[in-house]
Amino acid sequence: MKYVLIPLLPFAAFVVIGLFGRWIKERAHWIAVPAVAASFLLALSTCDDIAHGNPIHVTLYSWITSGAFDVSIGLYIDRLPPAMLLLVTVVSGLVHVYTIGYMHGEPGYARFFAYVALFTFSMLMLVMADNFLQLYVFWEAVGLCSYLLIGHWYERKSACDAATKAFIVNRVGDFGFGLGVMLIFAVFGSLQYDQVFAQAVLLKGQTINLLRPLGGEWPVEVMTVICLLLFAGAVGKSAQVPLHVWLPDAMEGPTPISALIHAATMVTAGVFMVARLAPLYNLSPAALDVVAVTGGVTAIFAATIALTQNDIKRVVAWSTVSQLGYMMMACGFGAYVAGIYHLLNHGAFKALLFLCCGSVIIALHHEQDMRRMGGLKDKLPVTYWTMLIGSLALAGFPLTAGFFSKDEILVSAWLASTLGKMLALVGLVTAFLTAFYSFRLL
């Protein structure tokens, strides 16, 4: 029962605030904050259960049954989801608390809390999904929530445009993701993770002719096609080149939601999905190479852009794109542990940096141009020192969390292959660029 309550409590908060927000107004946080805090405690208990027991599989109810098509709503928790559950609930909880002061007096106060609670619920259900259709549904729900939150200040044209851009760009990647899910059912006759993973080994080396309808010949391994279609969704969600363009514009939303999107939800979904489906990707070296190259290109490309930005939130936003490239590169070399390790570290220091940015922006009456800032160390000492800690971790300063996870990624890449050595050098150059733009924030 407690496993069901982890996502159910934020959803209940969304329903209550959504129905009674007109009357609750400034007291909406009294419902949302305790709900997310309770989810965190349950997630913590779940980590202990997994550490001392077997994977947990709970079937909630039969969702769709039609002939051979049988899909249920369920929860599957092995050793991967608990870390994500903690990340999502901790960052979401901190964002909820931070929002109390940041959004105080805003006309959409209750609406904002309702959407953040729904966002948290969707991400938790995505992480604990036990089948591909459930994964896809909540994958789309996360995208919908990001649209609603980026466009929270809908009276601003720039916010509406940014929300629309994020929604449309993600639909491009999600189209490929949807095709991948359909191909999985066509090939395996099931959408359950355990059944698909068990059968996938038997299909290794089998090919399909992509040009058969045109009378041509282009044999490609079935697993490669499936993995690349699924990866298209990850490219959109995790803002990888060429579908990276939506993430910097997402800064038009309130700063708390920038922290949530960049640290614990939305952009982390793509990396998590690749790691979750590792049994499929491990059967397709070609797909893994595409993942690795895409990640490496994204890492250095975004880092060079971050060097030239003057908006404090955009510098941090482009750093997110770059760090996501590191994570994808790690997954591309089969170093899923290193990728998830960096994802968790990044979630901690990136949430810290965004919330510090919010503190600076509020103190300067919503000024975001770094060229007009300076000398804030004496006026905002707590913000300065916390931002220094976050910047050191982002830059990979020795003995910080960011140093250890980046080091693990670069070592894994170097030891993988010739391609890995090339991308390890790209990652090393990116690390120096990261150090440069990180200290521009100070």
pLDDT at 261 over 90: no
Q: Indicate the pLDDT class of residue 355, thresholds 50, 70 and 90.
A: confident
Average of per-residue pLDDT across 365-376: 79
Give 398-414 pLDDT, tens digit per residue.
Answer: 888 889 999 999 999 99
CA–CA separation, 421 and 264 (whole Å): 30
pLDDT at 38 over 90: yes
Bridge partners (DSSP) of residue 77 are: 56
Average of per-residue pLDDT across 98-119: 86
Over the chain, what HEC string results? CHHHHHHHHHHHHHHHHHHHHHHHHHHCHHHHHHHHHHHHHHHHHHHHHHHCCCCEEEEEEEEEEECCEEEEEEEEECCCHHHHHHHHHHHHHHHHHHHHHHCCCCCCHHHHHHHHHHHHHHHHHHHCCCEHHHHHHHHHHHHHHHHHHHCCCCCCHHHHHHHHHHHHHHHHHHHHHHHHHHHHHHHHCCCEHHHHHHHHHHHCCCEEECCHHHCCCCEEEHHHHHHHHHHHHHHHHCCCCCCCCHHHHHHHCCHHHHHHHHHCCCHHHHHHHHHHCHHHHCCCHHHHHHHHHHHHHHHHHHHHHHCCCCEHHHHHHHHHHHHHHHHHHHHHCCCHHHHHHHHHHHHHHHHHHHHHHHHHHHHCCCCCEHHHCCCCCCCCHHHHHHHHHHHHHHHCCCCCHHHHHHHHHHHHHHHHCHHHHHHHHHHHHHHHHHHHHHHHCC
Give 196-233 pLDDT, tens digit per residue.
Answer: 998 888 887 777 766 666 666 767 788 999 999 999 99
| Residues found in the chain | 442
pLDDT, residue 290, reads 94
Give the global pTM.
0.91
Q: Which residue has the tokens 């994802």?
A: 343
